Each structure stands twice: as C-alpha cells, then as structure tokens.
Amino acid sequence: MQQVIISVVYHTGQGHTKQIAEILAENLQSEFSRVHLINVDEVKEQFDLLHESDTIVFGCPTYFGDISAGFKQFMELTGGFWYSQVWKDKLAAAFTVSSSRCGDKLNTLISLALFAAQHSMQWISQGIMPRYCSNEQTEGQNRHGSYLGLMIQSDNARELNPPHPGDILTTELFAKRILDVTLKFKNIKIYNYEQSTN
Ligand SMILES: Cc1cc2nc3c(=O)[nH]c(=O)nc-3n(C[C@H](O)[C@H](O)[C@H](O)COP(=O)(O)O)c2cc1C
C-alpha cells in the first residue's frame, strides 16, 4: 500500500491551536497516510520528519493580527532549507486560531502562505463552501467564510473549552481535503476511494 506523509507543525500559547492541530492530525490519519504532529518547541530534533513529508500543514494562533512569535522563530530556523529549496514542490496548507470571529486572521494566513511560497511549496486552499441556508450559515462548515486556509475562533475562558462544533466540522473537512489533494498530487489512485464533495 502506497502511503503519503503529512506533517502538522504548530505553535500554541494556551492550547487552543494544539486542539485543532490534534483534530487535523487525527483526521489526516488513514490507511493511505502517515502523519507527524510536531510542536514548534520540539521541531529542531524533528526537521527530518518535515523533509520526508509530502505535505506540511502550518498552524499558529493569531497574535496582534499576525503569526505568533513562537511560529516566527520556527520560520527563521528554516533559513538554511530555504537557501537550498529542500521543500520545493511539497504541498502546504495552513490554519490559525484567534478569539474573535474575525480577529484579523486573514493576515496570519497570508503570512503563512507567503512563507510557503518562499519555500516554493504548492498551496492547498481550504476548498470548503460556506453554507448559506438556515442556521448553518453561522453554525456550520466554514462559518467564517475563509478560502486561503482554516480559520478557528477559540472560546477563551479560564478553562480550555472545546472548539465550536462548526469549527470542528470545518477542521475535519479540511483534513479530508488535504489528504485528497496530497493523494492526487502524488498521483496515487485508490480504488473505491471517496473524494470529498464539499
Ligand atoms: C499577545 C496576544 C495577541 C492576541 N491578538 C489577537 C488578535 O489580534 N485577534 C484575536 O482575535 N485574538 C487575539 N488574541 C487571542 C488569541 O488569538 C487566542 O487566545 C488564541 O486562542 C490563542 O491560541 P493558543 O491558545 O493556541 O495560544 C491574542 C492573544 C495574545 C496572547
């Protein structure tokens, strides 16, 4: 059985971004894929896992309308790889988490896409249509109407609460899309494999 390798590399401050990284990793896992979940705090020892990946998913919280400092540190560690373009034509996708519905998350996704472009990676858009009927517009899939990547609104409280159900659904659908696109890009045809229709 041919398998693709997908890594999710993330920074988290209080754990909200970690929650989403874990849901993504769980839903990326299949008989056709091997998944690495990597916290940027431990990335220095795990760069080989990123180098062997077909797809790398980048994730961080939005802090002051942009990527977090923790993620930026990781980005700057990749300077040597940029120089030799070792990630050229790997696939890339991204997600960000912030406490406001908007919270200027788009700017974070743009920064992450630019980072991937400087590494000459191929970008996977979110590819999930928002639902425009009844309550689903606000409670369902892609409720923030994002296209560049996955946007999540965290419920910031004293305790770490689970993400909004609509955001969990969107995360699951995004994982399915990342897996679909990776298999397509690697030209792996799987008999009876159901492509996502969202
Ligand atoms: C320094 C700082 C700046 C923040 N800036 C924003 C912001 O610009 N927009 C927003 O909606 N939330 C903002 N937040 C809230 C975080 O995005 C939110 O708490 C998020 O869930 C953090 O994810 P984490 O738990 O993975 O660290 C900020 C939080 C911090 C600590």
- Per residue in 150-185, pLDDT tens? 999 998 887 899 999 999 999 999 999 999 999 999
Q: What is the pLDDT of residue 1?
A: 78
- Mean pLDDT, the chain, as a whole number? 93
Q: How many Cβ atoms are within 10 Å of 123's Cβ, its own excluded?
A: 15
Q: What is the pLDDT of residue 30?
A: 95
Distance from the alpha carbon of residue 171 to the mean position of ligand 1, in angstroms: 19
Which among 58, 164, 181, 80 has a CA at the least distance from the CA of 128?
A: 181
Cα–Cα distance, 18 to 23 (Å, whole number): 9
Q: What is the pLDDT of residue 157?
A: 81
Instruction: Please report, rounded to a whole number, the percentage of residues in the chain having pLDDT higher than 90.
Output: 83
Q: What is the pTM of this model?
A: 0.95
Helix (H, G, I), strand (E, B) or coil at 117: helix
Pocket test for ligand 1, best of 66, 98, 107, 158 (most atoms within 8 A of CB): 98
Q: What is the mean pLDDT of residues 88-103?
A: 97
DSSP H or E segment with residue 94? strand 91-98
Handedness of CA 80, 46, 12, 110 (dihedral sign): positive
Residue 87 confidence (pLDDT) above 70: yes
Question: Could you tell me which residues come within 8 angstroms of residue 135 by beta carbon, excluding any fewer than 6 positions away?
Answer: none
**Residue 194 — left, alpha, or beta (φ > 0 → left; ψ -120 to 50 → alpha)?**
beta
Q: What is the mean pLDDT of residues 44-60?
A: 97
Q: How many Cβ atoms are within 10 Å of 107's Cβ, its own excluded?
A: 15
Residue 107 confidence (pLDDT) above 80: yes
Cα–Cα distance, 197 to 177 (Å, whole number): 9
Q: What is the mean pLDDT of residues 16-37?
A: 97
Which among 64, 69, 56 has a CA at the least distance from the CA of 21?
A: 56
Residue 135 confidence (pLDDT) above 60: no
Residue 197 confidence (pLDDT) above 80: no
Distance from the alpha carbon of residue 164 to the mean position of ligand 1, in angstroms: 16
Domain map (residue ranges) of the chain: 4-185
Q: What is the pLDDT of residue 140?
A: 87
- ipTM surpassing 0.95, yes or no? yes
Q: What is the pLDDT of residue 6?
A: 98
Atom of ligand 1 nearest to the CA of 65: 8
Q: Which CATH number fits domain 4-185: 1.10.10.10, 3.40.50.360, 3.10.20.600, 3.90.550.10?
A: 3.40.50.360
